[in-house]
Structure 1
Amino acid sequence: MNDKAKTTLVPKLRFPEFQYAGEWTKEKLGSLASISTEKVGSKVCVPMSITSGVGLVSQEDKFGRVIAGDSYKNYLLLEPSDFAYNKSATKEYPEGFLAMYSGDRLAAVPNSIFTCFRVKGDSTDPRYLNYLFLGNLHGRWLRKFIQVGARAHGSLSINDSDLLALPIPLPEGKSSLAEQRKIADALNSVDDLIAALARKVDTLKTYKKGLMQQLFPREGETKPRLRFPEFNSAGEWVPKTIGQLGEVVTGNTPSTTKSEYYGGDRHFVSPSDISESRFIEKTKTTLTELGFFETRPIKANSILFVCIGSTIGKIAQNREECATNQQINAVTPNSENFEGFVYYALSQIAGKIANIAGKQAVPIVNKTLFSSFSLVVPKLPEQKRIANFLSSLDEVILGESQQLDTLRTHKKGLMQQLFPSSEDSHDA
């Protein structure tokens, strides 16, 4: 491919002022940018690391300290708007992650796993390039050059020449830079909305956490610091074990050698199915009625608590009858206890329950230990009041989180339309 090869590239979505600006073109990255090999030496820089999908972050922010050590002087220097390509595979970016440095101070990244480059001149907006790389344009190009399993010092074996040969789709003509800036500005505005909504969700979650600390008594106490007015004179909360809250059932797994047990309509819950959401909506594994018959059925609205392994303390609730594997203990509340309250009460003490496991190779809180764990609870009416209030707050958080997901999906679709298709972009 020539450094500037005419193609029939046209994005599906174009801003009105550029509708008649002509077709797009492709240029090799090497004609737009050059590899930067300058090392830190004695300069004062901010040592950086990279987080896939997020970008460059300071080592202090990511690790809580600077980990550069004696190798710092050999780090590669980054100026504002420089790019750093991390040649480590991640799940989201298996061909490595490429990000623009958006800071205003000199920065640096390890020379062992990074390739850095800088845009030449002022005909290309670095922000425009950054959005292409966030869409993994580089990954779809580089995968053809990566041999399976080919690694050097833990990083992907990528030649700089292959990286610089990456075809970059660009608007053509005198309005090229203006159109690039318009695209970058539009996507940046969406990013600002996403960041604002993400902060709102985080604030709500922090508010809920602080509120729960006041709605439930401290350890060793029998009254919460914050109580709904109608229960101010209701007396102290009473001690109960988890086993006294309801029936505790440890899950079990049907024989995995019998295919007729799997692939039906019954949910089979494992720890990986439990996320931040309160309710289990779907599971990676399902059971047939025959397979479900081989388990210990868990009644609807039980509380599922992971009691074995590295994820002890994960908690959820099932809307309908289900089965679980043996890493999960389920509590089915009795008539004296409200299932919503039990869910929030166990969420509040999940860390304390996990601590019972100690530091074993495979941490475990068995059914006996789990059932005997003690907490204090109020009478049923106050349980319901607390649970319904927290449930309402969860609905608000869920609604805002769903809006955030929708906005992120919108951005992804917008990028797919503002740039020509990757297949056209990679024609050589």
Structure 2
Amino acid sequence: MAESQNIATLITSFRSRYDAQEKDQVWQRLSHKMRIFWQERILSGTPGPLGEAECDEIIRILDRNGKGNTKNDEAVARVMVPQGAWRRMLNEFHDNPALGRLVHAVLNETDDRQKAALIDELYRKNQGQKNNLTGPSGNTIGAFLAAYDPVDNLSIISLKDRRAVIEFLGLSTSFEWDAPSIGTRIVESNRIIIQSMHRLGLPGSARTIGVFFYTPEVQALWKGEDTIKRTDKTAVSVVVPTTLDEEEEEVSADSVRESMRVQGLVAKIGETLGFRIWLPRADRSRVLKVWHPEPDVLLDDLPLNYDSSTMKTVEQIDVLWLRKRSIVRAFEVEHTTSVYSGLLRMADLVALQPNISLKLHIVAPVEKREKVLQEIMRPVFSLLEGRALKDMCTYLSYDHIRDIGELKHLGRMSDEIIEDYEEMAE
């Protein structure tokens, strides 16, 4: 087990400054709001979609990144689900009573064995659905459980984080981590961590325990994060990858063709939203097979006044959306195993122009999601002059790009629609 005296000291310090009773009262109100929403809106059977405003109120409870949240608001965690995906998920529960009732059964079950079985059933029935509900990390289910019952369900929603906490504390489990079902891992890891922290001297709700583990001094001990000072004396928090990069795989022709189709779709979306588009000259002949722009949409030259080094970097970025003489958004479409080349171009651009204000996006298949988000957090990208790359660059899946491209009335929207689908690295 981790050094008991050190843990005891951290717990004592935490308890002296964290008002658990006050916070639990806040969470009692938020949990009540969540339960009423589920009963009166999700399971009501009333026709018509749920409104964005009522969905957003619930999303603010579930997700720290929920639209409208401030640093002083209480939320379960950063769940890594885009705002638009949350809205669509809640509406799917409303429109699909069987799915809504099954999730409701998971949230209400108090027997651990039955809860694990219900989670497994949910994963089976939702298999193949691209709705962000049943991912391998368990983030979304964990967020729903913690919001619905924060007394007994940890806001440590990621199975990866729970495993790291268990290993840090030196706790034994009755199973090999990857052997049992995801339902068993979610339920058992929740029980093991709560019981161990009660024994170590941190009583109270699961929410209190979750907050303890994400305080900076405790998180640094188990999550592999560190703080590095830049030359301008400001400090940045970075995550040091704990596994080596895999060897670069040979990229298939199908993968390259798919990336070109996605690159063309990103360009088409930008055109629909009223932007002029830049593509690297080397890519144009292939991308133009899938995207047929109107006259004057595809730029022959970039109307920018950067120095030659910056221009050489900018010209190689996969897709740029421009309004007048300014780049509004930049996209790198990644299909390689390392997902590194696009990030390097983005980092080069920020290093060359530290005051640049455009928004950066890495577009990659969903199976590369965790790799992209991990790479964005590399220490070298947190040491850039100005802002860390993670504060400027987000992830978009191929599926999200296709979803945006299929939106009705896309031409009447603004480019802020991207923010309903993007994910930030945390």
Richer in helix (by share): 2
TM-score (norm 1): 0.30
When normalised by structure 2's length, the TM-score is 0.30
User: Greater RCO between the two (CA within 8 Å, min separation 6)?
Assistant: 1
Q: Which has the higher strand share?
A: 1
